Amino acid sequence: MQYFIEVIIPISLPQTFTYKVSEAEFTFIEVGMRIAVPFGKNKFYTGLVADKHHNPPTLYEAKEIHQIIDEKAIVTNTQLEHWKWIASYYMCSIGEVYRCALPSALQLESETIISAKKEVVSKEDLSDDEYLIVEALEQQTALKINEVASILNKKKILPVIQSLLSKNIISLQEEMVEEYKPKLVRYVRLYPEFSSPEKLEELLLMLKNAQKQKNLVLSYFQLNATQRKPISVKELADFSGTSSTIIKALIDKGIFEEYHLQHDRISFEEADGNSIVLNPAQEKALSQIQDVLKKKEVCLLHGVTASGKTEVYFKLIEEFVAKGQQVLYLLPEIALTTQLVSRLVKHFGNKVAVFHSKYSNNERVEVWNQVLENSDKAQIVIGARSALFLPFQNLGLIVVDEEHEQTFKQVDPAPRYHARDASIILAHYHKAKVILGSATPSLETYFNAQSGKYGFVELTERFGNAVLPEIQLVDLKDSYFRKKMTGHFSQDLIDAMTEALYNGEQIILFQNRRGYAPVLECMTCGHIPQCPQCDVSLTYHKFKNQLRCHYCGHSIAKPTNCHACSSIDLTSKGFGTEQIELELASLFPTKNIKRMDQDTTRGKYSFERLIDSFKNREIDILVGTQMLAKGLDFDNVSLVGILNADSMLYFPDFRAFERSYQLMTQVAGRAGRSDKKGKVIIQTYNPLHNTIQHVTNNDYEGMYKEQLFERHIYKYPPYFKLIRLTLKHKDFEKLKEGAMWLYQVLKQQFDIPVLGPEEPPVSKIRNEYIRTILIKIPQEKHLGNTKKTIQKILNSFDAISQYRAIKVSINVDVS
């Protein structure tokens, strides 16, 4: 009998691959284990076992596996089921889902580079092949696997490399080794023979001339008496105020013994034991949610900004944690996790684990293992959308906070999944419950709640005595006409800011564009510097004194004269957060002004630093992009200014009005979150615009009805599902021709709206031209069959030789 396993490989191929194993391997291997497998001529990948069987593949000869990496499965069966659903629903391969889901430290590949070890090698006991490789490495520092193959003129070179590795002559830079290394902490303890009082006296006498060493030993006893736990080298050095060299001297003398213990990279303190007290409105919402969850899997909690939704979640989480179940808390923005983690830890202590991309590879592997082992340290997992892929064993509840946020949708690379929708499916597999929370729910979610698909609970009043902020509109046309503008600030906004600062309150200003100015224009000939690789103008960044493309990162120094006519009369048009920050510095020179956008929050802890110093009232005015709009909670903010509301409204997107409403309402919700009434000033050229009126009157229902009516007429979600095909190629004519062919075939096959092929607003990025085709699928049409037909058409498109080079990406449920 033959033994085979099905392996998922982390590349975008639509199927799994069959490999041959021995009987012993077949019995040892479990589904969900990682296996190093050869793929192609000389590449190795970390595959994942998806199945075991006895059927040889018909189309190719099954290769043997390279090695088994795990001793037990690191991916659960439920996870595999969920991955298959994501692959089929979002029209991508299971390999792409696997690559996205597993932390990269657990995925090993073989673009392997070989380098020689530093030691001198004796060449006597080397075979001819080994000798050739060692010779080559003396000439150059590193070789790639394929270069070794050409030196030896052989295909099978791995045995030679393995042999050199075992002789410790070479090292691999991207070897098939575990990238994850546990964190080890150095500890010291006194050798056991010094534990008796007589020996101790001897020891102190022995050290009477080495005063510092004697003091260190005494400090060790002091620490040991106060805390009954191992003492780390760092702790001892800090406590005694000595350097680690003195500790090393005592280790060398055989007085202290050094040992290492494995530590979690991230661990939190114990809970402070304070229980959360809900107000009557929150109590009512909580009991309604509990009733709804008995009948339905999903419940939408629609609560106004600062109504205390988080406290309601905490109470629900308490229930599930008490039952010993795991809880997943999803947030749209890493900036939000920092603030919420401290609140969760305060309440739940060391049961909280955090998982998102700002954490290092090793930290993410630790959280993965804790969740897999159902450890107490990871009963509550909080994270951005990638936390959805963790190997939960006993998931009871998923909380999706700020569920309307577009950042829950992955844009690139595949899988282009939406974390909110994928989490509902994940909960279904685990028989868990889902809470979706937002002050401004997305139209689709609210539609599902109204039609009875989801449960629905409302929280209409703010927590404590806080009242909704007063919203004032400032007509920019009128202000400019009356010469009442200072830079980009209306007189009303400056007056309100001066008053707030005089009262010792803080201010948030919102401008949804980073950089200094989006355009630098020559006043003589009108020339605007463009990105050579993309179809956009370069944004001016004053702090770095450069022009930069926000799509491909191309940058040039700020020109002193026009590239077209050499005139020196250059001026900037439009404004971004940098310009606002500089204008504020001249208006309020004594105040501390900071900026929060992608440029200032690149580091791992940059969010924490900004948010903490704002919370501690060290910053007076915070200027930022949409990061500010995401559920942050500051009790001393009394004024929020939106500097230009129109830039969001006139964006070429069917969700532009909905998004503008959500963004403005969310930003406005940062004001007056304690007992002082907040104020919001919105500067706009169009104060009578319906969406801005809805924001002013806090009328979600009105915005929802108006948008729903338009979506129905123009065939958009929630009435139609959208699939967007994006085609990219460096040759404009070939792309145009290929996109037209694809459009015509789709049009012939379907009796549903197919729009395109059109150029998007930015029609060229990184030297690739772009065309998009939009397919609208009505509710009554079978979604699965439509997707199968689209996939067949794409396969035949790929089979045409002149179109094969055109990249096609599929985006299901366009956000």
How far apart, in Å, do the first and last CA atoms of the chain sit? 51
Q: 530 - beta bridge partners? A: 537
Look at residue 705 in the predicted model and tell me its pLDDT.
Answer: 96
Question: Are 191 and 257 a contacting pair, CB within 8 Å?
Answer: yes
Torsion angle of the four alpha carbons 662, 665, 667, 669, in this order, in degrees rounded to the nearest 10: -130
Could you give the CA distance from residue 356 to residue 333 in angstroms, rounded to a whole number? 10
Look at residue 179 in the predicted model and tell me its pLDDT.
Answer: 46
Could you give the CA distance from residue 132 to residue 142 in angstroms, rounded to a whole number? 14
Could you give the CA distance from residue 731 to residue 739 in angstroms, rounded to a whole number? 12
Over the range 379-395, which residues count as b (16 or more CB within 10 Å of their CB) and which as e? bbbbbbbbbbbbbbeeb
Per-residue DSSP letters for 6-23? EEE-SSS-SS-EEEEE-H
Q: Which amino acid is at 131?
A: Y
Question: Are 144 and 112 a contacting pair, CB within 8 Å?
Answer: yes
Look at residue 722 in the predicted model and tell me its pLDDT.
Answer: 95
Task: Return averaged pLDDT per consecutive 10 residues of the chain, 815 residues in all.
Answer: 92 90 93 89 83 91 88 93 95 93 74 68 76 81 74 70 75 50 73 75 79 82 73 81 82 80 58 72 93 95 86 93 94 74 83 81 85 90 92 95 91 90 96 95 96 93 79 93 90 94 92 87 93 91 88 91 92 89 92 87 74 87 82 82 89 90 88 80 94 93 96 94 95 95 94 92 91 94 93 93 92 88
Could you give the CA distance from residue 530 to residue 24 in angstroms, rounded to a whole number? 63
CA pseudo-torsion sign 560, 562, 566, 568: negative
Look at residue 157 in the predicted model and tell me its pLDDT.
Answer: 67
Q: Across 273-387, where does the E strand assignment appear? A: 298-303, 326-330, 352-355, 380-383
Look at residue 631 in the predicted model and tell me its pLDDT.
Answer: 58
| Strands 34-39, 326-330: pairing kind | unpaired
Look at residue 112 in the predicted model and tell me its pLDDT.
Answer: 63
Look at residue 6 in the predicted model and tell me its pLDDT.
Answer: 94
Look at residue 93 in the predicted model and tell me its pLDDT.
Answer: 92
Question: Are 404 and 442 a contacting pair, CB within 8 Å?
Answer: yes
| Residue 533, both tokens | 């690789």
Could you give the CA distance from residue 252 to residue 238 in angstroms, rounded to a whole number? 20
Look at residue 285 in the predicted model and tell me its pLDDT.
Answer: 93
Contacts 24+ apart (CB under 8 A), 738-742: 738/797, 738/802, 738/803, 738/806, 739/771, 739/773, 739/806, 741/797, 741/800, 741/803, 742/773, 742/793, 742/794, 742/797, 742/808
Look at residue 265 in the predicted model and tell me its pLDDT.
Answer: 53
Question: Are 18 and 4 a contacting pair, CB within 8 Å?
Answer: yes
Q: 470 - beta bridge partners? A: 679
Question: Are 442 and 658 a contacting pair, CB within 8 Å?
Answer: yes
| Residue 400, both tokens | 């999706």
